[in-house]
Amino acid sequence: MNMYINKVKQNSFSSASFAISQEKTKKYLEELKSGEVIIVYRFNKEKDSFIYYCFPKQVNGHDFFAYLEVNSNGEIDYQAESINETYALYLYLLEKENNKTLDELKSLYKSIDESVLKYANLSKEENKRRLDLRNSFLFEIENEENHIRESFKVESIILSVYFEEEEFDFLTNVTILLTSNLEKQISVSPYIFLNSFTRPIVKGGKELTLDYSKVMNKIQPYIIAANLSADNFASNKGILKKEMASLLPYLLGETIKINGKTYYINENLEQGRIEINENGKPKAIPDLKKKSVFVQSKKIISTIEKSKRIINVYVFKTENAKKIISFVGRKGITDKDFEYVADLVIDKIKKEKSLKINGENSKYQINLYIEYIKALDTLSFKTKFEYQGEEIEKDTFLGSEFSKAYYDSYIEELTKRHGLENGYLKDNEYVYAFLTSSYKDLGSYCKLFLSDNLLNITKTNPTVRTKLLLKEGWINASMSSSEFSDDELFSILEAYKQKRKFILIDRKIVDLESEEVKNFVKVADSLNIDRDHNQSNNLPFWTTFMLQSEEGIEVDLDSSLSSFVNDISHFKEANINLPSFLQNKLRSYQLDGVKWLSSLNKYHLPGLLADDMGLGKTLQTIAFISTLKEKGPILIVCPKSVTYNWKKEIEKWAPSLPSMVISGSIENRVKLLSSLKEEKTVIAIISYDSLRNDIEKFTQIQFLLTVLDEAQTIKNTNAKKTLAVKSLKSTYKLALTGTPVENSAIDLFSIFDFLMEGYLGERNDFARTYGYAPSKEKANKLYNKIKPFYLRRKKEDVLKDLPPKTIENISITMEEEEAKIYDAYLERARRDMNSGNIASILASLVRLRTICSDAPAFFENTNFEPSKFQYILEVLTQGIENGHKFVIFSSFVKALHHLSSYLRDHGIATAIIEGATNGEERIALSESFNNKDDIKVMLVSLKAGGTGLNLYGADYVIHLDPWWNNAAEEQATDRAHRIGQTRPVTVLKLVSFNTIEEKVIKLQELKKDIATSLIKEGDEGIAKLSKDDIKYLLS
pLDDT tens track for 641-693: 678 878 888 998 999 999 999 988 888 888 898 888 877 899 999 999 899 99
Most confident of 358-372, 430-444, 886-900: 886-900
SS3 120: coil
Residue 775 to residue 758: CA distance in whole angstroms: 23
- Can the peptide bond before residue 788 be classed as cis, meaning omega within 30 degrees of 0? no
**What are the residue ranges of helices labelled H in 906-963?**
919-931, 942-945
| Type of residue at 684 | A
Q: What is the pLDDT of residues 717-742, one digit of tens each?
A: 888 999 999 999 998 999 998 778 76
906-919 mean pLDDT: 87
The pLDDT of residue 662 is 92
Beta-carbon contacts of residue 822 (< 8 Å; ≥ 6 apart): 814, 848, 851, 852, 855, 992, 995
Cα 186 to chain centroid, rounded: 44
Q: Is the pLDDT of residue 232 over 70?
A: no
Q: Is the dihedral of CA 745, 747, 751, 757 positive or negative?
A: positive
pLDDT class for 695, splitting at 50, 70, 90?
Answer: very high
Q: So what's the pLDDT on residue 728?
A: 95
Instruction: Please choose, from the candidates 935, 981, 989, the residue with its C-alpha nearest in 3D space to the C-alpha of residue 962.
Output: 989
pLDDT at residue 14, rounded to an integer: 66
Confidence category of residue 165, pLDDT binned at 50, 70, 90: very low
Decide if 842 contacts 848 (C-beta within 8 A): no
Q: CA 714 to CA 706: how far, in whole Å?
A: 14
Within 772-834, strands assigned E span: 790-791, 805-812
| Range in 135-139, 193-197, 551-555 with the lowest mean pLDDT | 193-197
710: region left, alpha or beta (phi > 0 left; psi from -120 to 50 alpha): left
Q: How confident is the model at residue 842 (pLDDT cuts 50, 70, 90)?
A: confident
Query: Contact 68/52 with Cβ under 8 angstroms?
Result: yes
Q: For the chain, list the domains and their CATH numbers.
A: 4-110 (no CATH), 154-237 (no CATH), 359-455 (no CATH), 459-568 (no CATH), 578-798 (3.40.50.10810), 805-1033 (3.40.50.300)
Q: Does residue 332 or residue 473 have the better pLDDT?
A: 332
Closest by CA to 326, choosing from 308, 345, 309, 307, is 345
Residue 390, C-beta contacts closer than 8 angstroms, at least 6 positions apart: none
Question: Is 973 within 8 Å of 957 (Cβ atoms)?
Answer: yes
Distances in Å between the Cα of 972 and the Cα atoms of 320, 509, 600, 888 are: 34, 44, 47, 10
β-bridge pairing 364-373 and 447-450: parallel
Q: Is the pLDDT of residue 443 over 80?
A: yes
The mean pLDDT of 32-54, rounded to a whole number, is 79
CA separation for the pair 632, 683 (Å, rounded): 9
* pLDDT of 282 strictly over 50: yes
Q: How far is CA 657 from the centre of its chain?
A: 53
Tell me: pLDDT of 552 over 50. Answer: yes
Residue 627, pLDDT score: 93
What do you get for the CA distance between the two ends of the chain, in Å? 71
Q: How far is CA 612 from the centre of its chain?
A: 31
Decide: 239 and 228 in contact? Cβ < 8 Å.
yes
* Residue among 602, 525, 531 at smallest CA distance from 563: 602
Distance, CA of 83 to CA of 77 (rounded, Å): 11
The residues, ordered by sequence, that sit 6+ positions from 34 with a Cβ below 8 Å of its Cβ are: none
Residues 6+ apart with CB under 8 A from 132: none
Q: pLDDT tier at 888 (50, 70, 90 boundaries)?
A: very high
Residues in a beta bridge with 473: none
Q: Which residue has the higher pLDDT, 836 or 766?
A: 766
Q: Are 620 and 609 in contact (CB under 8 A)?
A: yes
Contacts of 289 (CB under 8 A, 6+ apart): none
Q: 587 to each of 519, 837, 983, how far by Cα in Å?
A: 34, 63, 22
* Residues 6+ away with beta carbon under 8 Å from 528: 536
pTM of the model: 0.36
pLDDT band of residue 705 (cuts 50, 70, 90) is: very high
- String of DSSP letters for 287-339: -TTSEEEEEE-SSEEEEEETTS-EEEEEE-SSHHHHHHHHHHHHHT--HHHHH
Cβ neighbours, 10 Å, residue 606: 21
pLDDT above 50: residue 154: no
pLDDT at 162: 33
Sheet containing 607-609: order of strands? 659-661, 683-687, 634-638, 702-708, 729-736, 607-609, 790-791
Answer with the residue of higher pLDDT: 1016 or 246: 246
Q: How many residues does the chain have?
A: 1035
Neighbours of 90 (CB within 10 A): 23
Which residues make Cβ contacts (< 8 Å) with residue 806, sequence separation at least 6? 984, 985, 986, 987
For residues 58, 60, 65, 70, the Cα torsion angle rounded to the nearest 10 degrees is -140
Residue 613 burial (CB count, 10 A): 9
Q: How confident is the model at residue 245 (pLDDT cuts 50, 70, 90)?
A: confident
Which amino acid makes up residue 368?
L
Q: Is the pLDDT at 171 greater than 70, yes or no?
A: no
Residue 579 pLDDT > 70: yes
Amino acid at 848: L
Question: Which amino acid is residue 407, in one-letter code?
Answer: Y
Model confidence at 163, pLDDT cuts 50, 70, 90, reads: very low
Amino acid at 315: V
Contact 445, 366 (CB under 8 A): yes
Lowest mean pLDDT among 110-124, 168-182, 513-527, 824-838: 168-182
The span from the CA of 573 to the CA of 930, in Å, is 39
Confidence of residue 290 (pLDDT cuts 50, 70, 90): confident
Residues 6+ apart with CB under 8 A from 705: 625, 628, 632, 634, 635, 730, 731, 732, 733, 734
Q: CA–CA separation, 972 vs 959, rounded Å?
A: 9
Query: Please, what's the largest Cα pairwise distance for the chain?
Result: 134
The residue with greater pLDDT, 1003 or 171, is 1003
DSSP string of 349-379?
HHHTT-PEE--TT-SEEEEEEEEEEGGGTEE
Q: Which long-range contacts (CB under 8 A, 24 or more apart) does 572-579 make?
A: 572/596, 574/598, 574/599, 576/627, 577/627, 578/623, 578/626, 578/627, 579/626, 579/654, 579/656
Q: How far is the C-alpha of 955 from the C-alpha of 946, rounded, in Å?
A: 16
| Residue 55 pLDDT grade (very low, low, confident, very high; cuts 50, 70, 90) | low
Displacement of CA 437 from its chain's centroid (Å): 22
Three-state SS for 495? helix
pLDDT, average across residues 472-500: 80
Asked if the model's pLDDT at residue 388 lies above 50, the reply is yes
Q: How many CA atoms lie within 13 A of 96 on its CB side?
A: 17
**993, 1001, 1003, 1000: which is closest to 818 by C-alpha?**
993
pLDDT band at 218; cut points 50, 70, 90:
very low
pLDDT (tens digit, 9 = 90+) per residue, 613-641? 667 888 999 999 999 999 999 999 998 76
Mean pLDDT of the chain: 77
Residue 872: the pLDDT is: 93
For the chain, what percent of residues have pLDDT higher than 90? 15
Q: Which of 802, 788, 799 is nearest to 752 (CA)?
A: 788
Does the pLDDT of residue 1025 top 80, yes or no?
Answer: no
**Residue 749 pLDDT more than 60?**
yes
